[in-house]
Structure 1
Amino acid sequence: MPESAKTSPRKASLTRRTGETDISATICLDGSGKSSVTTGVGFLDHMLVSFSRHSRIDIELSCRGDLEVDDHHSVEDVAIVLGSAILDALGTREGIRRFGSALVPMDESLARAAVDLGGRSFAVVKADFQRPVVQGMSTEMVEHFFTSIASGLKANVHLAVLDGFNTHHMIEAMFKAFALAMKDAVRIEGGGIPSTKGVL
């Protein structure tokens, strides 16, 4: 990593308050994987801590949401805020690798992730889960989380579970694969904008 990136960590803080959620987040792309996450959705907390650890993106995030309704608004808005904060921290995206991909096994499960931080939002998520809920998080919200983070991040995100039957393992493998893909994509490896257009 260039010396300038070491002395000037890429950081961003963001708050988002609506009638459904109140979220604050601070992230550092050039971190060590430290996190403090409280969303009120136990499994989402676990996944975001895992994402932070394996992407090495430091995350401080708190969310107060209308969980008396269900988990939908909290999961969706956390993803939007996290994606938007990462986008802010990337700045002009000069020098970043831009692309990242990973395969992650977790026992019987295998997940694949690929990302492009090219400024266009698109998500493709392929997974079939056996359980409808894991520790407070609806499994239907897994796809929505990644769709929402792709929107906030202005990135292409492709995720697929290639094998598996344990729902916890399948989702955790997805988050870890996404983390490793992001770790690659945000890495600074040279000067200039990584696009033939000259802008991202």
Structure 2
Amino acid sequence: MARTATIVRETSESKVELSLNLDGTGKTDIDTSVPFYNHMMTALGKHSLIDLKIKATGDTDIDAHHTVEDIAIVFGEALKQALGDKRGIRRFADATVPLDEALAKAVVDISGRPYCVCTGEPEGFEYCMIGGHFTGSLVRHVMESIAMHAGICLHLHVISGRDPHHIAEVEFKALARALRFAIEPDPRVDGIPSTKGAL
């Protein structure tokens, strides 16, 4: 059964068209209308091996926040839809990823219980403007939105970092690598990986 999803979400603030394939090769086609976010979502697809296509427009003349948030919501919803009943997946995974001076660790549980803990970003990071449109505070907001709408438990910790671009990018890449292994089919798992029998 194909683990794919396509979702279109339109509000007065944005329109998001997103499709993904969990069993892809990391092929991406990303146009979020926010250049730095294009870079981040491309990295997320590439390093998770999720084929990801996004076309989004929104009121970025006001702020990037609405469009960035809505894309994260739709990505989370699509991830949840494509996972189905989660039969046969590894479920738990973690990844520690470096980028020059920056280092981050992501731990994921595809649990069906949404929770997100983000720690370690240096003081003032949330106020940094990255790429002219993207504030550091949006990184945590994206992670929280993905976790809540995908129904996953995500712990993301920045271990070190100085450059705001590197810090943001390493967080996305750590999530990508953890997702890659958590959603991967495990040939030793028979059924749903939970003692409850459901996730």
TM-score category, normalised to shorter length: over 0.9
Q: Which blocks of at least 5 consecutive residues in structure 2 are unaligned? A: none
User: Which SS does the other structure have where 1:162 is aligned?
Assistant: strand
Measured in 2, the distance between the counterparts of 1:26 and 1:12 equals 6
User: 2:78 maps to what in 1?
Assistant: 85
Give the aligned residue type for 1:9: A
1:39-188 alignment, distance < 5 Å? 39-126=32-119, 127-128=121-122, 129=125, 132-135=128-131, 136-188=133-185
Aligned match of 1:20 in 6, 9, 13? Answer: 13
Give the aligned residue type for 2:194: S
User: Which SS does the other structure have where 2:56 is aligned?
Assistant: strand
Structure 1 segments of 4+ aligned residues over 4 angstroms from their partners: none
CA deviation string 1:80-132 (max 9, x = no partner): 00011011000110001111100001111110101111001111112122861
Q: Offset at 1:29?
A: 0.1
Q: So what's the TM-score if we normalise by structure 2?
A: 0.94
Percent identity (aligned): 41
Give the aligned residue type for 1:102: A
Q: Offset at 1:9?
A: 3.1
Measured in 2, the distance between the counterparts of 1:82 and 1:59 equals 9
The answer to whether the 8 A contact 1:117-1:185 is kept is yes
Measured in 2, the distance between the counterparts of 1:53 and 1:130 equals 25
1:1-12 alignment, distance < 5 Å? 8-12=1-5
Q: Offset at 1:191?
A: 2.2
Measured in 2, the distance between the counterparts of 1:80 and 1:98 equals 21
Measured in 1, the distance between the counterparts of 2:40 and 2:46 equals 10
Q: Offset at 1:68?
A: 1.4
Residues paired across the two proteins, number: 193
Give the aligned residue type for 1:134: I
